[in-house]
Amino acid sequence: MSESHSLRKADKIVAVKGMNDILPPESAVWEALEARVRDLMRRFAFENVRTPIVEPTALFVRGLGEVTDIVEKEMYSFEDRLNGEALTLRPENTAGVVRAAVEHSLLYNGPKRLYYMGPMFRHERPQRGRYRQFHQIGAEALGFGGAEIDAEVILMAHMLWQELGLTGVELQINSLGQPAERNQHRAALIQYFESHVDVLDEEAKRRLHLNPLRLLDSKNPAMQPVIEAAPKLIDFLGDASRAHLQAVKDILDSHGVPYVVNPRLVRGMDYYNLTVFEFVTTKLGSQGTVCAGGRYDYLIEQIGGKPAPAVGWAMGVERVLELLKESGSAPALPVLDAFAVITDVSSLSKVMPALQTLRQAGVSVQMQASGPEGMPSMKAQFKRADSSGARFALIFGADEVQAGHVTIKSLRDGEIPQKTIPLSDMAAWAAGMTSVA
């Protein structure tokens, strides 16, 4: 290889389309949201679970349903070159959490409340709030069959919107009943759509006898009048299913949580039964669902476990953050406490222990780094200190270092006087800086 070829600039490698880097300072907003959610989960007694990003393809085919958009069109699936196993990047995480619960017998000693955070993957056209790698936070209550737990997980999400200051989020609920009721509805749907087959597009015709419920999800404008007039599942519900939905509504009513019963709400996975719900907004265009879920009493058995009821939800992190921006409620970015202005590299042996003292006391400190020619000028360092957003500049000049002192200058509040203190007093200053500021 010639020298000129080896020194040639390499082509720039960029991220995969629809899979985005999350960079500072935006990443700090993500961290703030995650911290709020962790605290909320703690208050509702949910424990964290972390499952693999890659799962067996069969998990999603069996769990989500073979005739669903996710399984048919959107999954990133591949064959393991080592052993030929069919694998998939998880498109959602309820099935993964259930798989983990079954594999590790988590329900042996009783029900579990679990939550997760992490990336999901779906191969679809990237657009605002909808990406090929997207992030979800989810809550799964495994082993609970009562309507009060359906209501509890809804109340938890509603409380999150309140604490985040989000407005314009509407709760829609419905019931999908039980399998026998859905079978009756399925037969009625097939009969109904067969009488309107001339209006159906090719996709709807293909799914008509495989999974007619999915026709209700169609976004084809030409089909909407026919879909609106189609038989409604709620009309096929038995007394027990109706009582379950009413019990959920009664609890929401008692807590003053507004909702709309949407008889067309069916969700995109086949594992749901009884209660389903979505929190939707009109502020994000076509991607209006920010959180959705429901009851899935048969999924644990489908994945190989002993029969057990369950209910949960997942929220799209990107969509919630977009909604926070739209609502003007985005979490405040963390503020750097102090920036260390250092005039001479030779003083670092005294400066760095002092900065460690502050950090151990909980103060955030950025240290000016040296370059090939030593430390930048004082003017340049103060410019960097100001642009860092730090509340204080810690000035370690030659005179201060020689005397074992540091000068503290407020960068944001002109009313706070500049002062010089011994390095031995830095821990005391750190303890009182919040009240001083």
Q: Which residue is listed with tokens 């909407």? A: 224
Give the CATH number of the domain where residue 366 resides.
3.40.50.800
Does residue 149 or residue 263 have the better pLDDT?
149
Are residues 66 and 168 located together in one domain of the fold? yes
Q: What is the DSSP string of 2-57?
A: -HHHHTSPPPPP-PPTT-----TTHHHHHHHHHHHHHHHHHHTT-EE----SEEEH
Are residues 347 and 313 located together in one domain of the fold? no
d(CA 278, CA 120) in angstroms, rounded, equals 19
Reading the block at residue 247, the tokens are 């019990």
Are residues 318 and 415 located together in one domain of the fold? no
Are residues 421 and 392 located together in one domain of the fold? yes
Exposure class string for 46-81: b at 16+ Cβ within 10 A, else e: beebebeebbebebbbbbbbebbbbbeebbeeeeee
pLDDT tens per residue across span 359-387: 999 999 998 888 888 888 889 999 999 99
Round the average pLDDT of the chain to a whole number and report it.
Answer: 90
Residue 183 CB contacts under 8 Å (≥ 6 apart), including other chains: none
Q: What is the DSSP string of 312-344?
A: EEEEEHHHHHHHHHHHT-PPPPP---EEEEES-
| Strand, coil or helix: 283 | coil
Reading the block at residue 64, the tokens are 């989500």
- pTM above the 0.75 mark? yes
182 domain-assigned: no
pLDDT tens per residue across span 383-432: 999 999 999 999 999 999 999 999 999 998 888 899 999 999 988 898 87
211 domain-assigned: no
d(CA 137, CA 94) in angstroms, rounded, equals 11
Are residues 65 and 147 located together in one domain of the fold? yes
Residue 251 CB contacts under 8 Å (≥ 6 apart), including other chains: 147, 148, 151, 155
Domain total in the chain: 2
Domain of residue 386 covers 338-436
pLDDT value at residue 435: 47
Are residues 33 and 93 located together in one domain of the fold? yes
pLDDT value at residue 268: 67
- Distance, first Cα to last Cα, the chain: 61
pLDDT tens per residue across span 334-355: 889 999 999 889 889 999 999 9
Q: Which residues, listed in sequence order, are joined to residue 411 by a DSSP beta bridge?
A: none
pLDDT value at residue 167: 86
Proportion of the chain in helix, strand, coil states, percent, rounded to 5? 40, 20, 35
Are residues 313 and 370 located together in one domain of the fold? no
Give the chain's radius of gyration (CA, Å).
Answer: 28
3 domain-assigned: no
12 domain-assigned: no
Q: Which residues, listed in sequence order, are joined to residue 341 by a DSSP beta bridge?
A: 395
19 domain-assigned: no
Question: Is it true that the peptide bond before 334 is cis, omega within 30 degrees of 0?
Answer: no
Reading the block at residue 79, the tokens are 């064959």
d(CA 394, CA 412) in angstroms, rounded, equals 13
Give the CATH number of the domain where residue 33 resides.
3.30.930.10
DSSP state of 73: I
d(CA 187, CA 247) in angstroms, rounded, equals 28
On the question of pLDDT at 109 being above 60, the answer is yes
8 domain-assigned: no
What stretches of 95-251 adopt beta strand conformation (E)? 112-121, 133-142, 170-175
Domain limit, last residue, from 292, 308, 327:
327
351 domain-assigned: yes
DSSP state of 79: E
Domain limit, last residue, from 272, 297, 327:
327
d(CA 267, CA 213) in angstroms, rounded, equals 10
Most confident among 169-178, 320-329, 341-350 (mean pLDDT): 169-178
Average pLDDT value for residue range 185-196: 90
Are residues 279 and 394 located together in one domain of the fold? no
Are residues 313 and 346 located together in one domain of the fold? no
Domain limit, last residue, from 327, 353, 381:
327
CA proximity to 275, closest of 107, 144, 132: 144
Are residues 376 and 253 located together in one domain of the fold? no
20 domain-assigned: no
Are residues 342 and 323 located together in one domain of the fold? no
Are residues 323 and 344 located together in one domain of the fold? no
